[in-house]
Amino acid sequence: MTGGLIEKPTFLVHVVFPTGKNGEVADADTMCKFDTIFVASLTYLKCYLKSYDSDTIHSDLFYSRHRVDTTEITFEDGALFSVYLEDSNGDDNRKSMVAKAVNNKAELHVPKHKIDQLPVVQSLHEYSDSDRELFGWFANHIIHEVLHILGAYHHHDGIMSGYVDLIENGQICLVNRVDDITTRIVSEMLSANILATPPVADYHFNKETRCLTINGGEVGLFTVVFLKEARYTKWFYFCSDFTFCGIVPEDSEWDRLFVQFVHGAYILFEKNNIYNSDPHVFARSRLPGGSPHEEIKDVS
């Protein structure tokens, strides 16, 4: 198999708290609150993926908080979240959080008054109903960005559409809140056996019939999705073979093509790459590195 397989039993989510743009610093209580939110979010995501595909051995999701005021954390596998507190300058009506993800790094720009409203607890069950609702709001953003880091794009429904209520019976529930495309992509991306390097796919586009054929070589194809402005379109395919053959949508319906292989690695094609038979512009396994990926920004 191209590039071989690497065993990755864990996926570590590193979290740092750099100083905000106006000098805001996260105190010990604030960091403890985020400890609880991150640990719970990763735990529920892990349980959700296991319920979706109990046959696949997934990497275990772990949380690691770094007290240093830096975003320069070196790691071979996993994700890095930089959490910035931002004062509202007296505007307590500001409810939005700005978040963005690029490759395996994410930023959260958090209204300080929002996190200040949460008490310091060790368990979600210690929250009041209003606290639990706010907790779910934070968890929604964190899980959304984790899913981006693991290959997911936006969807018209569920958590990848923006904010959705995750609280059910007093705890976070992801069932019916994560779309099927995202679930499939992320479940495979978190496989405990990953490709060291993304394979190179051969492809052919017939301009007359608009038929696209993709050959994964030694590695099976898993998911093929046409994207439009970082969002899934209605043209997606769940594969189970080494070759994909399908009709390319009209120009106005897509701008990129996402091709995922078994064991999670994926490649992205720009529309012009397909039309001009150019090489793909982005290839990524779960390991850091690869070509630059577009920034996906969220405000909610």
In percent, the amount of the chain with pLDDT more than 70 equals 87
Q: Quick check: 299 pLDDT over 70?
A: no
Across the range 215-235, mean pLDDT stands at 95
Average pLDDT over residues 228-242: 95
Check if the beta carbon of residue 71 is closer than 8 Å to that of residue 21.
no
Query: Tokens 């960005």 map to which residue?
Result: 145
Q: Residue 201 gets which letter from DSSP?
A: P
Q: Which of 81-85, 141-145, 154-158, 274-278 has the lowest mean pLDDT?
A: 274-278
Binned at pLDDT 50, 70 and 90, residue 103 comes out as confident
Higher pLDDT, 38 or 283: 38
Let me know: does 244 contact 214? Beta carbons within 8 Å.
yes
Q: Per the structure block, which two tokens stand in for 79?
A: 């994700």
- Mean pLDDT of the chain, nearest integer: 88
Q: Which of 97-101, 213-217, 283-287 has the lowest mean pLDDT?
A: 283-287
- Taking alpha carbons only, the member of 73, 97, 87 closest to residue 15 is 73
The whole-number average pLDDT for the span 248-270 is 93
pLDDT at 52 over 50: yes
Segment 72-100 mean pLDDT:
76
pLDDT average, residue stretch 259-279: 90
Q: How far is the C-alpha of 242 from the C-alpha of 250, rounded, in Å?
A: 25
Count of alpha carbons within 13 angstroms of residue 139, beta-carbon side: 26
pLDDT band at 291 (very low <50, low <70, confident <90, very high): very low
With left for phi above 0 and alpha for psi between -120 and 50, is residue 86 left, alpha or beta? beta
For residues 232 and 153, the answer to whether their CB atoms sit within 8 Å is yes
| pLDDT for residue 170 | 81
When pLDDT is averaged across residues 256-278 and rounded to a whole number, the result is 91
Pick the more confident residue, 235 or 292. 235
Beta-sheet pairing, 60-65 with 10-16: parallel
Other CB atoms within 10 A of residue 247 CB: 11
Contact of 41 with 145, CB cutoff 8 Å? no
8 Å CB contact between 118 and 137:
no
245, pLDDT greater than 60:
yes
Higher pLDDT, 292 or 277: 277
- C-alpha–C-alpha distance, residues 31 and 66, integer Å: 10
Task: Specify the residue for token string 């569920």.
Answer: 158
Q: Which residue has the higher pLDDT, 168 or 195?
A: 168
**Collapsed DSSP state (helix, strand, coil) of residue 179:** coil
| 279: CB partners within 8 A, 6+ apart | 273
pLDDT of res. 281: 65
